[in-house]
Amino acid sequence: MLVDGYGRKITYLRISLTERCNFRCQYCMPEKPFSWKPNENLLSFDELFQFVKVAIDEGITKIRLTGGEPTLRADLDRFIKMIYDYKPDIDLAMTTNGYLLKEIAKDLKAAGLKRLNISLDSLRPETAARIAGKDVLSNVIAGIEAALEAGFQVKINMVPLKGVNDDEIVDILEWCRERGIQVRFIEYMENVHAHSDLVGMHGREILEPIRSRYKIERVGRQGSSPAFLYRIKEDGYLFGLIDPHKHDFCESCNRIRLTAEGYLIPCLYFDEAMSIKEAVRAGDIPRAVEILRQVLANKPKENRWSEEGSPSSNRAFYETGG
């Protein structure tokens, strides 16, 4: 069993498969980084799988693939199948911008991927393009439809930004509600890589337009999910709010992150990380597990987005996987 220094049981591994992305979201990677990390620095799927196997043996029950944009990694379905074949009942999910899903959703489902979180920040082509840095909306919508058709359980992520897409909170909620998809509104998390002009919205501000349209009630968190759920009384539709500025989900945090280059990161906000790359490349898996335990021992109690003046994290979301 994996337990951190505060007695929290760690059962959830998020793997960032690449820092590269085909979008340039203002809140994540508005500019292409000065230089990409060379591809040879990435752990291969075979190397990653060596670590995944022991992580599962040690008690990981949920794995999420993310990035950057995970669908940019060639042979993604092969990696998914490796994990699925090792432990078919693992909760295997992926977060994606959806742009390439139309072509690959069926293959990913056949390989054993179970759930998809897809980012959708606007239903207006110009606003979606303004946020993502290019015209993306029709591909993203086609990707969501392909995912539903392939039989995936889909959730939508939206990051509301003042003066950009804040007037679409109810539209996106209704779009998802009509399709029976759960939407989760994510508070913008300040980080030094984001566009400096961005103004995020606090959870209570995100809820305002929804409250003025519907009667809603608080449901709570499910397990260790960072999303606090609300229900529309009229029909029972559930939606989520992810509000790290409150950080009350840190108490039950069950996750650890692995970057594409092999760094284990104990908390999305924090800079502390240790590499398992050398150990994995040398085939020294016991050493990789030792490093994993060390990182867990140093996992901080809570993030720092809740502090006065909302400090910015140095961590790039495209590197850690959000």
**Contacts to ligand SF4 by CB under 6 A:** 21, 23-25, 28-29, 67-69, 97, 317-318
| In the complex, minimum distance from the CB of residue 233 to ligand SAM, in angstroms, rounded to a whole number | 27
* The one-letter amino acid at 322: G
Contact 302, 250 (CB under 8 A): yes
Query: Out of ligand SF4, ligand SAM, none, which partner does residue 321 contact, by CB within 5 to 8 A per kind?
Result: ligand SAM
122 binds, among ligand SF4, ligand SAM, none (CB under 5 to 8 A by kind): none
Residue among 25 and 273 whose Cβ is closer to ligand SF4: 25
Strand order, beta sheet including 238-242: 216-221, 227-232, 238-242, 182-186, 153-158, 115-119, 91-96, 62-66, 12-16, 255-258, 263-265, 274-275
* Shortest Å distance, C-beta 68 to ligand SAM: 6
**If contact means CB under 5 to 8 A according to the sort of partner, which of ligand SF4, ligand SAM, none does residue 266 touch?**
none
- Classify 125 in phi/psi space as left (phi over 0), alpha (psi -120 to 50) or beta: alpha
**Least distance between ligand SAM and beta carbon 244 (Å):** 8
Residue whose structure tokens are 């008690």: 59
Q: Judging by beta carbons within 10 Å of its beta carbon (0-12, 13-18, 19+), is residue 37 exposed, middle or buried?
A: middle
Q: How far is the CB of 317 from ligand SAM (least distance, A)?
A: 4
| List of residues contacting ligand SAM (CB under 6 A) | 21, 27-28, 66-67, 69, 95-97, 119, 157, 159, 186, 188-189, 191, 194, 317-318, 321-322
Q: Closest CB to ligand SF4 among 28 and 150? A: 28
CA end-to-end distance (rounded Å), the chain: 25
Nearest 5°: the CA angle 207, 191, 316 is 115
Q: Which residue is nearest to ligand SAM (CB)?
A: 322
